[in-house]
Amino acid sequence: MSTFSSETAWLCLAVTAALGGLVLCKLKSPGQVGGKGVCLAALWGGACLLSLSLFWSLILFSLSCFLLYYLSGQELLPVDQKAVLITGGDSGIGHALCKYLDQLGFTVFAGVLDENGSGAEELRRTCSTRFSVLQLDVTDSQQIKDAYSKVVQKVQNRGLWAVVNNAGILGLPADGELIPMIHYKRCMDVNFFGAVEVTKAFLPLLRKSKGRLVNISSMAGGVPLFKMAAYGSSKAALTMFSAVMRQELSKWEVKVSSIQPGGFKTNITGTSEMQIKLEKDILDHLTPDVREEYGQDYILAQKNVFNAVSTYASSDVSPVLQDIQHAISAKSPFTFYTPGSGAYLWLCLVSFSPTGIFDYFNKKFNYLNNGTPRILSMPNWKNKAM
């Protein structure tokens, strides 16, 4: 390698380090941007090293600076008591988000499944006088219409700035063949059709304010995770809906963002009573042949998935809250947010790696594995199947 090339390589390495350091220092919110910035800096640095050309090094350095400016220069709009509707405020991320945005000065409308439940009562007790609780089952068209009327009555000329479609259910995490159709349909009703209907109902207000539509999807909507056929399919539909609406609503200057969190510990897994009912639903809807081939032990072990989800999930939901705040408040919000450890990495892996490589790592790091179906553990089962 020539002296000139060596000097160029060291220059590129220095620039990469500087870019990465600036990103880490400047970007504290939203949560996932720092990691993306470091990946970006490493990418451009590697490209510079490969080019070994001063001209292309300077070009790529300029592009890196521009992208760094784009990532770090996100101006936040003033709150000014902007009104925000959040669905699924009873518990979990929605509950925490209601409190978080209320503390920031937003006028929050919390749509809850039970307006007389403990979650709704706690919100009334702890939040400001700007705060309102709305009875809002996202699968009930009449409740959506009633909520719309109450919001219009309260905001009047101020308008509604943002809708956060957060309401969601996990359904039954089990092998796709074992999940009853009623649970597939229930997941789609809450996670997808509910979000679509709420969006359609409140879009006239968002178009008027040139506001924000934020849909809480999931990493499972882009990464095919074991045991998540029902949940992942519904979130994939919501992610695609967000992408289409982003383009269609751009002419109205309404910005659309999709939040795709990794694993966070919430109440989405339900109570132990709900889990027992889900287990019973599996057994009641299986045909004798499927029950025989999977085996009773394997089927009953599906309930262990709930424990695995809770064990590996993070209890700190602040990265999700910060990203939602950014999607609502930034002058130029991002299209996708991926809060949570490993979420962005897994989405990149499934998007850019060969299928075989992804499947290998997905199986290797699968923490939801809970044994082997009965027939697969029998000696010479392959020969019997032929």
User: What letter does residue 135 receive in the DSSP assignment?
Assistant: E
Beta bridge partners of 258: 215, 336
Asked if residue 324 is part of any domain, the answer here is yes
Beta bridge partners of 165: 215
Q: What is the pLDDT of residue 158?
A: 84
Q: Say whether both 293 and 257 belong to one domain.
A: yes
Say if residues 133 and 123 touch (Cβ distance below 8 Å).
yes
Q: Say whether both 126 and 242 belong to one domain.
A: yes
Say if residues 54 and 82 touch (Cβ distance below 8 Å).
no
Q: pLDDT digit string (tens) for 326-374? A: 999 999 999 999 998 888 888 988 888 899 988 888 887 776 666 788 8
Residue 223: count of CB within 10 angstroms of its CB? 22
Q: Say whether both 68 and 207 belong to one domain.
A: no
Tokens 């490589």, located at residue: 357
148 is catalytic: no
Structure tokens at 352: 């850019």
Q: Averaged in consecutive runs of 10 residues, what is the pLDDT profile of the chain (386 residues)?
A: 53 53 44 51 54 58 60 76 96 96 97 96 96 98 98 92 96 88 95 98 96 96 92 97 98 97 73 72 87 86 72 82 96 93 85 88 73 78 55
Residue 74: count of CB within 10 angstroms of its CB? 17
DSSP for 257-321, please give it.
EEE----B--GGG--HHHHHHHHHHHHHH--HHHHHHH-HHHHHGGGHHHHHHHHHSBS--HHHH
Asked if residue 297 is part of any domain, the answer here is yes
Q: Say whether both 103 and 156 belong to one domain.
A: yes
Longest Cα–Cα distance in the chain: 75
Q: Say whether both 342 and 195 belong to one domain.
A: yes
Q: Say whether both 173 and 26 belong to one domain.
A: no
Residue 360: helix, strand or coil by DSSP? helix
Q: Say whether both 212 and 151 belong to one domain.
A: yes
Q: Give the phi and the psi of residue 96 in degrees, each rounded to 5.
A: -65, -35
Asked if residue 120 is part of any domain, the answer here is yes
Which of 148, 231, 294, 298 is catalytic? The answer is 231
Asked if residue 382 is part of any domain, the answer here is no
Number of domains in the chain: 2
Q: What is the pLDDT of residue 28?
A: 39
Q: Say whether both 50 and 110 belong to one domain.
A: no
Q: What is the CATH number of the domain that holds 293?
A: 3.40.50.720
Beta bridge partners of 132: 109
Q: What is the pLDDT of residue 22?
A: 46
Asked if residue 274 is part of any domain, the answer here is yes
Q: Say whether both 52 and 105 belong to one domain.
A: no
Q: Say whether both 41 and 154 belong to one domain.
A: no
Asked if residue 175 is part of any domain, the answer here is yes
Q: Say whether both 232 and 295 belong to one domain.
A: yes
Asked if residue 369 is part of any domain, the answer here is no
pTM of the model: 0.81
Full residue range of the structural domain in which residue 23 is found: 3-72
Asked if residue 380 is part of any domain, the answer here is no
Q: Say whether both 336 and 358 belong to one domain.
A: yes
